[in-house]
Amino acid sequence: MTNVRETWLNLTKEDPIEPEMPICDPHHHLWDHPNATGFFPGRYLLEELIKDIGGGHRIVQTVFLQCGSMYRKGGPKEMQPIGETEFVQGIAAQSASGQYGPTRVAAGIVGYADLTLGNSVAPVLEAHLATSSNRFRGIRNGSTWDASAEIAGPRSAPKGLLLDSRFREGFKLLQKYGLSFDAWLYHPQLPELADLAGAFPNTTIILNHIGGLLGIGPYSGRRDDVFNDWKRGMKLLAAHPNVFVKLGGLGMTISAFGWNERPAPPNSTELAKTMAPYYQTCIELFGANRCMFESNFPVDKLSYSYTVMWNAFKRISKGMSVVDRSALFYDNAVRVYRLPTADEV
């Protein structure tokens, strides 16, 4: 992260709330883009993540989510994403040495495979597992699409990807290999994911960032309408017990809460007030045993610091039972991604 951004984040500093509570962060990225520009850091590796974690919360272990980092330069195109798993496996081994602190970074790894390859994706899945048999847990094949040119970008997926027959042919193989699926889409696409979940009830699906809430382009200034539309989609998803939800991602600019544009970052009390209606709705619909708080760092770092963010999550869940809070902060992530328990880490 640029020094300018770090200076801005440091304008709002807090001590961690309930620092002994164990946390598994089920969603963060790692990358190194030397020529990157803008607010996103060009480098976000083990050192940078550990620095963010160092604010005092007890982050026991984490899960890495694919972000197109360190793909192989040559070879068959479908095999190039294996480079990302190789890269993260190395960082996970660094962390497991214990020389970088108690957190086990990338205890679980979620990579990319083009599921539209259909049955031909099998060698790609096998290569991921061969590269990281002890950590590789699932696939994320993003399906973000919107009709608005203000939202669509170069990384947008084809319209209706989750309904595509070839995609579903590839998706079917996830169960065979014991892999889960991380879903990254926008909130108007939630009914498509519900259809997919119903078609494959034995495959675990983890919805990223509560379904990609949009607040830009044609969704700008329509916060209540968006909320109601999003809630209808989430109700459809909640009917499928194989779907889990990551509570986070509202710091992204697509949601347009504007925290990143302020003179100083929001504190955890303000964040909790704004985030609570969304996260509590998810918990009400899915139950505490099917939700998990996530950081989405360094992407959400555009809007708030790691320590303040987890404080906000703890404020939101303050009135819940010990069992439910443990599920939201640690147990569900460990169970869904089949990670070592706290005693085994």
Q: What is the mean pLDDT of residues 285-304?
A: 98
Q: What pLDDT was estimated at residue 1? A: 42
Q: What pLDDT was estimated at residue 343? A: 61
Q: What pLDDT was estimated at residue 327? A: 98
Nearest to 123 by CA among 73, 170, 69: 170
Q: What is the mean pLDDT of residues 15-23?
A: 98
Task: Kindly report, residue by residue over 207-231, the tens digit of the pLDDT.
Answer: 999 999 999 999 999 999 999 999 9
Task: Kindly report, residue by residue over 54-105, the tens digit of the pLDDT.
Answer: 999 999 999 999 999 999 999 999 999 999 999 999 999 999 999 999 999 9
Spatial distance between the Cα atoms of 92 and 107, rounded to a whole number of angstroms = 7
What are the contacts of 55-58 at 24+ separation with CB within 8 A?
Answer: 55/16, 55/305, 55/306, 55/307, 56/15, 56/16, 56/19, 56/307, 57/16, 57/19, 57/21, 57/23, 57/306, 57/307, 57/310, 58/19, 58/20, 58/21, 58/22, 58/23
* Confidence label for 39 from pLDDT (cuts 50, 70 and 90): low
Cis-peptide into 298, omega within 30 deg: yes
Q: What pLDDT was estimated at residue 142? A: 96
Lowest mean pLDDT among 148-157, 178-187, 308-317: 148-157
Q: Is the dihedral of CA 291, 197, 195, 218 positive or negative?
A: positive
Q: Which CATH number fits domain 3-336: 3.40.50.720, 3.20.20.140, 3.30.950.10, 3.30.465.10?
A: 3.20.20.140
Quick one: tokens of 98?
């214990």
Quick one: tokens of 319?
């009135």
Q: What is the mean pLDDT of residues 134-163?
A: 93
Q: CA distances (Å), 115 to each of 71, 125, 192, 297, in order?
A: 17, 10, 16, 26
Pair 252, 209: CB distance under 8 Å? yes
Percentage of the chain modeled with pLDDT above 90: 92
Q: What pLDDT was estimated at residue 188? A: 98
Q: Is the pLDDT of residue 2 over 60?
A: no
Domains of the chain, by residue range, sit at 3-336
Q: How far is CA 149 from the centre of its chain?
A: 24
DSSP 3-state helix, strand, coil percentages of the chain (rounded to 5)?
45, 15, 40
> Comparing 251 with 33, which gets the higher pLDDT?
251
